């Protein structure tokens, strides 16, 4: 949606930002260069048009899909084409085939689950990510993106009021975040007991206990399964009526096994934030690692009104 009548081109010419008028963008040759209109560019233009149509129509459309499984399988199950298809046709066909089968999660009338919604600058930057086709895992393969990752991590720590010394990693979602953070916990807790899981694996390692509330998101147990800790390692303690973990109950159960305490910052149904100060005290008594699931609620820290809910979360560093 080019509704600003101008787009700031981040490509800096002699240190200045170049401002492109909207009409320039709609003139095909001005953006791509004379005679450089290739099939690939046509496909991109088709995608842009379809994307804008989709976004413009979001609020008027019904939220759930209107087309069922059988119909969708028929549309997509045509097998591979014998002949090549023009790129822009591929895009048009794709759009036709998904018609009625999309969930309108970007709509302002969509309130289910915790998904959907994006800022227009983020969406546009996401397109550039595909066009740039970088491998920013290491600096050598994409210096600019490696530094961008560094910078955005710092911004996030700033806006979420996380300690400056915190490390960060971008993952695909909270499930992957659990796996990543609990892998670090596993490494540290077993390492403290003289067992290097990186070289020895889990064989012969002391059993880790994951203590959490009964309202804990199921992805924590899944992460335990993926990490070889097993779902039996997860002990679900009762929660109070307001959804907070009953830390008295946890305290009575603590023992000297390597322990991970999983807390919630914004439980999915109740919005509960656990008592981070008290949890930190308990964890320190037994050298436990504390992991906070902030899938939804971490953003409270960005709000003057709700920041207090996160009090104590900054204490959730690694023990030792």
Ligand X SMILES: Cc1ncc(COP(=O)(O)O)c(C=O)c1O
Shortest distance in whole angstroms from residue 228 CB to ligand X: 19
Between 195 and 237, CB nearer to ligand X? 237
Q: How far is the CB of 6 from ligand X (least distance, A)?
A: 35
Window contacting ligand X (CB under 6 A); options: 43-51, 71-79, 94-102, 289-297: 289-297
Q: Which of 42, 89, 134, 175 binds ligand X (CB under 6 A)?
A: 175
Q: Is 137 in the site for ligand X (CB under 6 A)?
A: no
Q: Applying CB under 6 A, which of residues 110, 168, 268, 299 lies at the interface with ligand X?
A: 268
Q: Binding of ligand X at residue 295 (CB under 6 A)?
A: yes
As measured in angstroms, the least distance from the Cβ of 178 to ligand X is 7
204's tokens: 């012969």
Q: How many CB atoms lie within 10 A of CB 80?
A: 4
Rounded CA separation 213/114 (Å): 20
By C-beta, is 33 or 173 nearer to ligand X?
Answer: 173
Q: Which two tokens stand for residue 315?
A: 């204490």
Using CB under 6 A as the binding rule, whether residue 293 contacts ligand X is answered as: yes
**Shortest reach from residue 142's CB to ligand X, in Å:** 25
What is the size of the binding site for ligand X (CB under 6 A)? 10
Stretch that binds ligand X, among 28-36, 46-54, 272-280, 293-301 (CB under 6 A): 293-301
Out of 186, 217, 237, 280, the only residue in the binding site for ligand X (CB under 6 A) is 217
- Report residue 117 as tokens: 């919604």
Segment near ligand X (CB under 6 A); pick from 11-19, 77-85, 171-179, 244-252:
171-179
174 is a site residue for ligand X (CB under 6 A):
yes
Whichever of 167 and 269 has its CB closer to ligand X, that residue is 269
CA distance 214 to 33: 60
Residues that bind ligand X (CB under 6 A): 114, 173-175, 217, 219, 268, 293, 295-296
């Amino acid at each position: 949606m080019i509704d600003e009548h101008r787009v700031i081109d981040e490509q800096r010419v002699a240190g200045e930002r170049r401002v492109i008028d909207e009409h320039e963008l709609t003139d095909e040759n001005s953006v791509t260069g004379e005679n450089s209109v290739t099939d690939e560019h046509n496909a991109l233009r088709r995608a842009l048009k379809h994307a804008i149509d989709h976004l413009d129509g979001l609020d008027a459309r019904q939220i759930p899909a209107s087309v069922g499984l059988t119909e969708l399988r028929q549309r997509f199950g045509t097998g591979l084409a014998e002949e090549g298809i023009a790129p822009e046709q591929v895009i048009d066909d794709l759009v036709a085939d998904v018609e009625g089968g999309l969930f309108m999660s970007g709509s302002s009338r969509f309130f289910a689950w915790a998904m959907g919604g994006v800022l227009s600058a983020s969406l546009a930057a996401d397109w550039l990510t595909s066009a740039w086709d970088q491998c920013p895992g290491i600096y050598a393969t994409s210096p600019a993106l490696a530094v961008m990752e560094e910078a955005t991590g710092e911004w996030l720590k700033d806006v979420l009021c996380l300690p400056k010394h915190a490390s960060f990693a971008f993952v695909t979602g909270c499930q992957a975040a659990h796996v990543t953070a609990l892998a670090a916990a596993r490494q540290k807790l077993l390492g403290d007991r003289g067992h290097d899981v990186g070289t020895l694996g889990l064989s012969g390692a002391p059993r880790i206990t994951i203590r959490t509330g009964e309202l804990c998101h199921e992805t924590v147990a899944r992460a335990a399964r993926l990490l070889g800790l097993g779902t039996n390692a997860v002990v679900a303690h009762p929660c109070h009526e307001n959804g907070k973990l009953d830390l008295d109950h946890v305290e009575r159960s603590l023992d000297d096994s390597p322990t991970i305490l999983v807390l919630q910052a914004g439980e999915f149904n109740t919005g509960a934030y656990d008592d981070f100060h008290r949890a930190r005290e308990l964890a320190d008594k037994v050298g436990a690692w504390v992991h906070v699931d902030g899938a939804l609620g971490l953003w409270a820290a960005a709000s003057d009104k709700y920041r207090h809910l996160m009090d104590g979360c900054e204490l959730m560093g690694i023990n030792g």
